[in-house]
Amino acid sequence: MSISFGDNVRVLSSPETDEKGLSGKTGQVYGETTPSVTSVEVIGEAKKDYAINVSIEGAGSELWFSPNLLELIDHAEGTEIIIGNHRAVRRADGSWEESEISPTKKWWQFWR
């Protein structure tokens, strides 16, 4: 199963991840990129010019990994994203349930 945005992952053991003390740590996927275009530093060899961004608590910043150094834990069921008046909630199968939410009231509309 492929890893995508929002998934919870575990860092696999390799010389690169062992050296950085990241082996076995877990985090959440925040994005993906093409390293040849964005010039990000990738942990591992980005064989297909593809890297995955993972936020690991306590690491100080998000890190970019070669996909072969990550193991899928789960799809982070219940993760919620709100952009404007659109809401998306992650399902256990990795899909997103999307809905619209009512716009928030302006401060001066407190009586409504």
Is the residue at 86 inside a domain? no
Q: Is the pTM of this model over 0.85?
A: no
- Could you give the number of structural domains in the chain? 1
Give tens-digit pLDDT for 9-67. 999 999 999 999 999 999 999 999 999 999 999 999 988 999 999 999 888 788 999 99
Write the single-letter amino acid at 10.
Answer: R
- What pLDDT is attached to residue 56? 94
Task: Write out the residue range of the structural domain in which residue 30 sits.
Answer: 8-74
Q: How far apart are CA 98 and CA 84, in angstroms?
A: 13
Domain membership of residue 47 (yes or no) is: yes
Does 110 score more than 70 pLDDT?
no
Task: Please indicate, yes or no, if residue 63 is contained in any of the structural domains.
Answer: yes
User: 46 lies in a domain?
Assistant: yes
pLDDT band, residue 84 (cuts 50/70/90)? confident
Question: Based on the number of CB atoms within 10 Å of its own CB, is 90 exposed (0-12), middle (13-18) or buried (19 or more)?
Answer: buried
